[in-house]
Amino acid sequence: MKKWLNPRSAFGIALISVALVALPFVAAMGGQAWVRILDFAILYVFLALGLNIVVGFAGLLDLGYIAFYAVGAYAWALLASPHFGIHWPIWAILPIGAGLACIAGVLLGSPTLKLRGDYLAIVTLGFGEIVRIFMNNLNAPINVTNGPQGITLIDPVMIGGFKFSGNTTLFGLTLSGPQKYYFLLVALAILVIIINLRLQNSRIGRAWQAIREDEIAAKAVGINTRNIKLLAFAMGASFGGIAGGVFAAMQGFVSPESFSLMESIMILAMVVLGGMGHIPGVILGAVLLSVLPEALRYGVGPAQTALFGKQLVDPESLRMLVFGLALVLVMRFKPAGLWPSPERKRELAEKKA
């Protein structure tokens, strides 16, 4: 903790805090849509940091991470909506969602402990698909998830009578729904970042790193690889579950469509593109990859009109094309990610020499 007290980092932290507070107001000038994009960027930071525990710290390639997000989202949706007529408070649902996701993580983790590398990847992928298929089809014979239509009219976050949807005026300042969620998300994200930082340098964090580098050696020095791996799955999953709950409340609507394999892959791309295992890198990756497609949505259409005088190709597919190319190019020129940890950079440099 000593590092935090030196004046330079204190100044940096102050600067970042001011920027974080000002951001939603600046974004609001471009319309509430941008504030919402910002909200999602932070939600993805949250998710990417959760996945970073599993993939970045412990080195377990998980392609079904979105399943835990889905479990959290559906837990919130079912316990706080007219679907079953249950309206529990956040203090009950969020822990339940995180707990269920955690159980799902252990459930996925325990049979796959023996698997390595890409075999683990495909099993987690399959698990994610199984969860999604069940959500899509559990509307008969008993209607649990309402099938492909999803669940609507989900309660927003309420903390002690303070509602996070709609406008509120505080000290003469009008805050919109997305702006209020922004501050909630930032608070949660900071909490997750602190947990991540503390974990990284803890006994557990070092054990994860040992397993990542060499599982047999880790076992030989007395690390209980089974429990430590399960812990990585469980912790990553719980973060996913909490993010899912906030997502459901923020959207007011969940459907299986939001939890496709492509989402899992996107979160993995955020972790890898940013710099696997390096917390600032992962944050950067998550912000970039969640904002870029949206920015392209607003940029691609007008750019075409300006260049050619008309819309040559469907802007929607052009936007995704550019996005795909960006992924390829970043990996081509920055194979270790945009902001890799110093240790990893050194390892790669040594390898080349």
Partner 1 sequence: MDIFLQQIINGLVQGSIYALVALGYTMVYGIMGLINFAHGEVVMIGTLVTITVAGTLIKAGMPVVFAGLAGVSTSVLVCVALGWGLERIAYRPLRNAPRLTPLITAIGMSIVLQNLAMMIWGRNYLTFPSLLPKINFEVAGAHFTAIQVIIVVLSAATMGGLLALIYRTRLGMAMRATAQNPAVASLMGVNINRVIAAAFVIGSALGALAGVMVGTYYEIAHYQMGFMLGLKAFTAAVLGGIGNLAGAMLGGVLLGIIEALGAGYIGDLTGGFLGSHYQDIFAFIVLIVVLMFKPSGLFGEKTGDRA
Residue 55 in the binding site for partner 1 (CB under 8 A): yes
**Angstrom distance (rounded) from CA 238 to CA 105:** 8
Site track 195-224 with partner 1 (rule: CB under 8 A), x = hit: -----------------x-xx---------
Number of chain positions touching partner 1 (CB under 8 A): 57
Site track 332-351 with partner 1 (rule: CB under 8 A), x = hit: x--xx-------x---x--x
The 3-state DSSP class for residue 340 equals: coil
Q: Which residue has the tokens 């020129």?
A: 333
**Angstrom distance (rounded) from CA 121 to CA 24:** 37
Residue type, 306: A
Residue number with CB closer to partner 1 (199 or 336): 336
DSSP per position, 215-227 = HHHHHHTT--HHH
Residue number with CB closer to partner 1 (66 or 276): 276
**Angstrom distance (rounded) from CA 343 to CA 114:** 28
Site track 306-325 with partner 1 (rule: CB under 8 A), x = hit: -------xx--xx-xx-xxx
**Angstrom distance (rounded) from CA 47 to CA 68:** 10
Distances (CA, A) of 298 to 25, 142, 178, 180, 315: 19, 43, 19, 24, 10
Residue 86 in the binding site for partner 1 (CB under 8 A): no
Residue 61 in the binding site for partner 1 (CB under 8 A): yes
Most distant CA atoms of the chain, gap in Å: 67
- Residue range at the interface with partner 1 (CB under 8 A); choices 30-38, 57-65, 72-80, 189-197: 57-65
Residue type, 321: L
Q: What is the CA radius of gyration of the chain?
A: 21
Residues 92-151 that bind partner 1 (CB under 8 A): 111-112, 114-123, 125-127, 129-130, 133-134, 136-137, 140-141
Residue number with CB closer to partner 1 (167 or 224): 224
Q: Residues interacting with partner 1, by CB under 8 A?
A: 55, 59-61, 111-112, 114-123, 125-127, 129-130, 133-134, 136-137, 140-141, 212, 214-215, 261, 265, 268-269, 272-273, 276, 313-314, 317-318, 320-321, 323-328, 331-332, 335-336, 344, 348, 351-352
